[in-house]
Amino acid sequence: MKVHISVDMEGIAGVAHGMDTKLGAPHYEYCRRLMTAECNAAIEGCFEAGATEVLVNDSHGTHMNLLQEELDERARVVRGRMKSLGMAHGIDAGTDATMFIGYHARARGGDGVLNHTMRSRDLIDVFVNDEPAGELRLNAALAGAENVPVVLASGDDVLCAEARDCLGEVETVEVKQAVDKYTALSLHPRVAQQRIREGAQRALGRLSSFRPYTVERPTTLRVSWGSTSIAALCENVPGTKRVSSREVEYTSSDFRELYRLLRVYFILSDAALAVPYTYD
């Protein structure tokens, strides 16, 4: 049994603020240890439940956060962000299940701790067939395109509700409650790690009860930007339609194509924001 684990940082127990999650920020070195420990808990649960192979994809920021020497040596790790499938990298047809650890709620989906969707700057929202889509739904749909179910999601209470709403009977582990976007009421890290380990075991113990998350095809991806300039730039991608001053959309029957395109849009948005003559 081959298991994939995508690990983000905002949904790790104890993490509450950008000062915890950004490379070079005051608490980052401490919080990457917490992230590594939660990842280890999931890996341990997987092997206890009979996994023969675990592939971990570091999925936060630089995608270079996990302390590799401290990771369970039975797992292999993908480190670095230059990969076309980003947070979902490593999910393929040979994967039996994927787990989303340390995930956070989508932008505009409530007061989830550090809620956002891929980028905070100048993105308003992402929609898949008119359904608001955060990182959880986007990565679940990518896994679904490879026929792989999401069996476990961990994070705050808002993320866990989002996961159940999107995926039905997915196993969830709530490691903290969102008090505000920048404040969390968290379990002790060791308690959270124990629950994640047990959650991973429970999920794989009922693997046959999960179905991959699939979206209706053809599928339309719509992205709503805070800046008309970014929408105008994205419109240059062949096949992209500008549907309003701030929105673009693209339709395809292959979700993997939409996922990769979304990453291209984000790169274009970074380029637009890097132009030094925009002072608004």
Catalogue the active-site residues. 116
- With respect to Zn ion, which residue has the nearer C-beta, 134 or 240? 134
CB of 272 to Zn ion, least distance (A): 22
Question: With the C-alpha atoms ordered 248, 244, 118, 141, is the resulting torsion angle positive or negative?
Answer: negative
Phi and psi dihedrals of 46, rounded to 5? -60, -50
Q: What is the crossing angle of helices 135-145 and 255-274, to 10°? A: 140
Q: Nearest distance from residue 78's CB to Zn ion, in Å?
A: 15
For the window 145-164, what string marks contact with Zn ion as x by the rule CB under 5 A? Answer: --------------------
Least distance (Å) from Zn ion to the CB of residue 169?
A: 26
* 8 binds Zn ion, rule: CB under 5 A: yes
The stretch near Zn ion (CB under 5 A) out of 55-63, 119-127, 204-212, 247-255 is 55-63
Closest CB to Zn ion among 7 and 91?
Answer: 7
Distance from C-alpha of 159 to C-alpha of 172, rounded to nearest angstrom: 9
| Residue whose CB is less far from Zn ion, 10 or 20 | 10
* Residues 38/196, Cβ–Cβ less than 8 Å: yes
| Residue 145 near residue 254 (C-beta atoms within 8 A) | yes
Distance CA 236, CA 234 (A): 5
Helix (H) or strand (E) holding 78: strand 76-78
The answer to whether the beta carbons of residues 59 and 12 sit under 8 Å apart is: no
How many residues of this chain interact with Zn ion, rule: CB under 5 A? 4
**Residue 104 C-beta: closest distance to Zn ion, Å:** 7
Assess 181 for contact with Zn ion (CB under 5 A): no
- CB-wise, 5 or 248, nearer to Zn ion? 5
Nearest to 16 by CA among 115, 88, 160, 109: 115
176 binding Zn ion? (CB under 5 A): no
Question: Contacting Zn ion (CB under 5 A), which of 4, 17, 60, 116?
Answer: 60
Kindly state the tokens that stand for 263.
């990453």
58: contact with Zn ion by CB under 5 A = no
Closest residue to Zn ion: CB criterion: 60
- The residue among 53, 65, 74, 71 whose CA lies nearest residue 28 is 65
* Stretch binding Zn ion (CB under 5 A), from 8-16, 91-99, 147-155, 157-165: 8-16
The CA-based angle 241-247-252, given to 5 degrees, is 45
Position 195 contacts Zn ion (CB under 5 A) = no
Nearer to Zn ion, 31 or 51 (CB): 31
Give the residues lining the site for Zn ion (CB under 5 A): 8-10, 60
